[in-house]
Amino acid sequence: MQDRTADGAAADIAADLATLRTDIKNLSETVAGRLRDRSNAAGAAMKGAVGDASDQISQAASRAQDSVFGAAADLERRIERDPLTAVLIAAGIGMAIGVMTKSRT
């Protein structure tokens, strides 16, 4: 009679272990799914932030380019309006560079 009770208890334990394995497997799959979802959400947020930063950098570069072109056009107009001043400034810069690079021997 004790053998039947022991066999029944062993069968119950085996069934409980099988149920426990199934529960652990299901829990692992659920946790992995949630982690995957959060990872995907974080990746999407990062892509959005990088896209926004890229747009801002592009706009800043465009504004800088417009500013440089505007300054170049302004300089060109000043040279056309007063060429003698432009020549004298260029000569002065050339002389200053020549003095700074002159050999001191």
**Gap between the Cα atoms of 38 and 73, Å rounded:** 52
DSSP 103: -
Structural domain count, the chain: 1
Q: Are 86 and 79 in contact (CB under 8 A)?
A: yes
Instruction: Give residue 104's Cα distance to chain centre.
Output: 51
Among the residue ranges 71-75, 86-90, 100-104, the one predicted with the least confidence is 100-104
The percent of residues in the chain predicted with pLDDT above 90, rounded, is 59
Token pair for 47 = 């892509």
The parent domain of residue 88 ranges over 2-101
pLDDT at 11 over 90: no
Dmax over Cα atoms in the chain, in whole Å? 123
- pTM over 0.75, yes/no: no
pLDDT of residue 7: 76
Which single residue is written with the structure tokens 């990062």?
Answer: 46
C-beta of residue 77 within 8 angstroms of C-beta of residue 84: no
Q: Look at residue 83 and tell me whether its pLDDT is greater than 80.
A: yes
